[in-house]
């Protein structure tokens, strides 16, 4: 190869560690099989076949992940493209579990009268005869399962990427299917399509910004490898404009995905417009994956520059917590309210990110590292979020979901159990003791304190008190408010067993994480350091 020898490089034969990569490959294979089912299986069989393929893929991948994790293999694999270390194992396990629970909510068919929550024909114009025919023919878009599986594979790739190219590819694989899934709601299709367009335009804008930042970082370091970027930080004597600009742009791309202020404006619109099962999937899994990638990029590649990014991250964390909590108070739509709540929670996790309390940075010996506390917070936040969105699918008015807070007035008298369970999730969001949310808040604040960000932690505690107002308002509405005489009143419909299992999982996990958090905290603590 004369052209290559001229440049003086040879390309080594890639050596791929298939054993460690297996969970990811299984999810991809399951997604591809899902596409084949869509093409080959007769229509009546598709839904059950898709469920079978998706759950088989997830359970096998989960099994192999846990097996590998227990085996203790940690390595940077595929020529430095992926890093399979403690945080990766933890995040993969958590992602697969929450994707599985989300799929249980996707599988709900009883609430819509033996049909799924997704539109029968996405191509038909809302309100047209084409749509009516599709509804009457009982068509269904079972493509949601392979699409969500592809998104899941991107989510697994994103936080494991040890290379900026891989990180970008993961980001796109997780985003593209989600843009489509947002537009597939069965009811309120105009809102759903609008949310898909907004998410698509803002999402691709943020990934374009990420790519330009990636190009600038490559210009600085001469490599896409995260550890190589870290090495060139050590060796360069002066601060390079390319480096600072690249770090900013890449950071913007990632902060957009975690929904941090000032890049949060898509979150309320998309969470409100998307079909509720998809919102649950996005609110949990996307956030988990994006925080994993954010932590890896800023700790592994840009850790040497933390004196430069910590002040900025501090301001972002403060503003994110504040906006999420204060604007959330004024919301009248529950899905929108939960979107602002998720923005606020992103701010609390950013407290731990800002602190950068890792072993290499002088972390006190017996404290939780920033990564461990963020991992635990993500789990505690996700169990309550997925349960809350599952309950939102059950509270209905005239056949459709009823998300306006006013229609939930007095729900505690009509359906005490459902309202009590929803209140439990709200209390967990607020960080009341004996729920997972409390331990999560405690762990990120402890990591922030250990990392020397005492003032930020004090501010975060004050803001978490303000945020509690949002959740208490929901509880007061459900239990202590009479519905207005002329206002529509939402009722709880009886869902199928899959949704009930998802809610049950949320309840049990929220209480267990609050009362007996030891095992999960230990797991997170053991997964607290990135492999460099």
Q: Which is nearer to another protein, 161 or 371 (CB)?
A: 161
Q: Could you write out the DSSP letters of every residue in 429-498?
A: HHT-TTSHHHHHHHHHHHHHHHTT-HHHHHHHHHHHHHHHHHHHHHHHHHHH-PPPTTS---EEPP--HH
Q: Give least dist CB 204 to another protein, A.
A: 5
Using CB under 8 A, list all residues that contact another protein: 7-9, 11, 122-123, 125-126, 164-165, 168-169, 172, 176, 179-180, 183, 189-191, 193-198, 200-201, 204-205, 208-209, 211-212, 214-216, 218-219, 222-224, 268-269, 272-273, 330-331, 336
Q: Give least dist CB 290 to another protein, A.
A: 17
Distance (Å, rounded) from C-alpha 469 to C-alpha 452? 29
Q: Which is nearer to another protein, 105 or 209 (CB)?
A: 209
Distance (Å, rounded) from C-alpha 137 to C-alpha 206? 40
Q: Which is nearer to another protein, 193 or 428 (CB)?
A: 193
Residues 6+ apart with CB under 8 A from 522: none
Q: Which is nearer to another protein, 127 or 311 (CB)?
A: 127
Q: Could you write out the DSSP letters of every residue in 107-157?
A: T--TTTTSS-SB-S-TTSPTTSHHHHHHHHTT---TTHHHHHHHHHHHHHH
Q: Give least dist CB 257 to another protein, A.
A: 15
Q: Give least dist CB 117 to another protein, A.
A: 18
Cα–Cα separations (whole angstroms), residue 392 to 277, 387, 402: 9, 9, 8
Q: Give least dist CB 465 to another protein, A.
A: 24
Cα–Cα separations (whole angstroms), residue 129 to 133, 135, 188, 421, 531: 6, 10, 16, 40, 57
Q: Which is nearer to another protein, 15 or 494 (CB)?
A: 15
Q: Which is nearer to another protein, 63 or 218 (CB)?
A: 218
Q: Give least dist CB 18 to another protein, A.
A: 22
First to last CA, the chain: 33
Q: Which is nearer to another protein, 339 or 388 (CB)?
A: 339
Task: Tokens 């790739």: give the residue.
Answer: 157
Distance (Å, rounded) from C-alpha 389 to C-alpha 387? 6
Q: Give least dist CB 154 to another protein, A.
A: 11
Distance (Å, rounded) from C-alpha 181 to C-alpha 383? 22
Helices (H) and strands (E) in the chain, counts: 22, 5
Alpha helices by DSSP H, listed for 266-369, are 266-273, 276-281, 287-296, 306-329, 334-355
Total number of residues shown for the chain: 532
Q: Give least dist CB 22 to another protein, A.
A: 23
Q: Give least dist CB 432 to another protein, A.
A: 27
Q: Could you write out the DSSP letters of every residue in 346-365?
A: HHHHHHHHHH---GGGT--T
Q: Which is nearer to another protein, 182 or 349 (CB)?
A: 182
Q: Give least dist CB 163 to another protein, A.
A: 9
Q: Which is nearer to another protein, 251 or 273 (CB)?
A: 273
Task: Tokens 């309120």: give the residue.
Answer: 188
Q: Which is nearer to another protein, 121 or 481 (CB)?
A: 121
């Amino acid at each position: 190869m004369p052209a290559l020898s001229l440049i003086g490089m040879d390309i080594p034969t890639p050596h791929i560690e298939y054993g460690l990569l297996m969970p990811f490959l299984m999810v991809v294979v399951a997604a591809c099989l899902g596409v084949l089912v869509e093409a080959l299986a007769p229509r009546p069989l598709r839904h059950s076949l898709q469920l079978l393929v998706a759950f088989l893929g997830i359970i096998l991948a989960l099994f192999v992940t846990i097996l590998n994790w227990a085996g203790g293999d940690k390595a940077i694999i595929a020529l430095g493209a992926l890093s399979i270390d403690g945080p990766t194992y933890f995040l993969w396990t958590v992602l697969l579990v929450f994707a599985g629970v989300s799929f249980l909510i996707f599988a709900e068919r009883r609430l819509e009268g033996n049909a799924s929550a997704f539109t029968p024909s996405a191509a038909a114009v809302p309100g047209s005869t084409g749509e009516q025919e599709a509804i009457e023919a009982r068509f269904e878009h079972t493509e949601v399962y392979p699409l969500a599986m592809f998104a899941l594979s991107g989510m697994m790739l994103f936080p494991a990427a040890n290379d900026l190219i891989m990180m970008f590819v993961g980001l796109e694989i997780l985003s593209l299917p989600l843009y489509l899934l947002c537009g597939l709601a069965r009811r309120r299709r105009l809102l759903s399509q609008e949310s898909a367009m907004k998410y698509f335009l803002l999402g691709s804008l943020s990934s374009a910004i990420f790519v330009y930042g990636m190009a600038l970082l490559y210009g600085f370091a001469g490599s896409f490898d995260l550890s190589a970027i870290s090495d060139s930080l050590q060796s360069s004597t002066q601060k390079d404009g390319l480096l600072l600009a690249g770090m900013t742009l890449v950071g913007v791309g990632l902060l957009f995905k975690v929904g941090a202020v000032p890049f949060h404006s898509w979150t309320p619109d998309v969470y409100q417009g998307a079909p509720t099962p998809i919102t649950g999937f996005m609110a949990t899994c996307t956030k988990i994956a994006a925080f994993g990638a954010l932590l890896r990029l800023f700790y592994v590649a840009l850790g040497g520059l933390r004196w430069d990014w910590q002040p900025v991250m501090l301001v972002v964390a403060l503003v994110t917590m504040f906006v999420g909590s204060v604007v959330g108070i004024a919301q009248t739509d529950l899905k929108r309210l939960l979107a602002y709540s998720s923005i606020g929670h992103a701010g609390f996790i950013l407290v731990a990110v800002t602190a950068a309390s890792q072993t290499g940075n002088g972390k006190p010996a017996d404290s939780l590292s920033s990564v461990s506390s963020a991992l635990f917070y993500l789990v505690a936040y996700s169990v309550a979020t997925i349960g809350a969105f599952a309950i939102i699918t059950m509270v209905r008015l005239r056949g459709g979901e009823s998300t306006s807070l006013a229609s939930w007035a007095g729900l505690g008298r009509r359906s005490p159990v459902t309202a009590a369970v929803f209140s439990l999730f709200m209390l967990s969001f607020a960080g009341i003791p004996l729920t997972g949310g409390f331990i999560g808040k405690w762990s990120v604040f402890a990591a922030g304190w250990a990392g020397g960000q005492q003032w930020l932690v004090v501010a975060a505690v004050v803001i978490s008190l303000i945020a509690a107002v949002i959740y208490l308002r929901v509880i007061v509405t459900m239990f202590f408010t009479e519905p207005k005489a002329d206002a529509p009143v939402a009722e709880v419909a009886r869902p199928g067993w899959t949704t009930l299992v998802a809610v049950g999982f949320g309840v049990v996990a929220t209480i267990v994480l609050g009362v007996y958090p030891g095992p999960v905290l230990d797991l997170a603590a053991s997964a607290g350091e990135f492999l460099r």
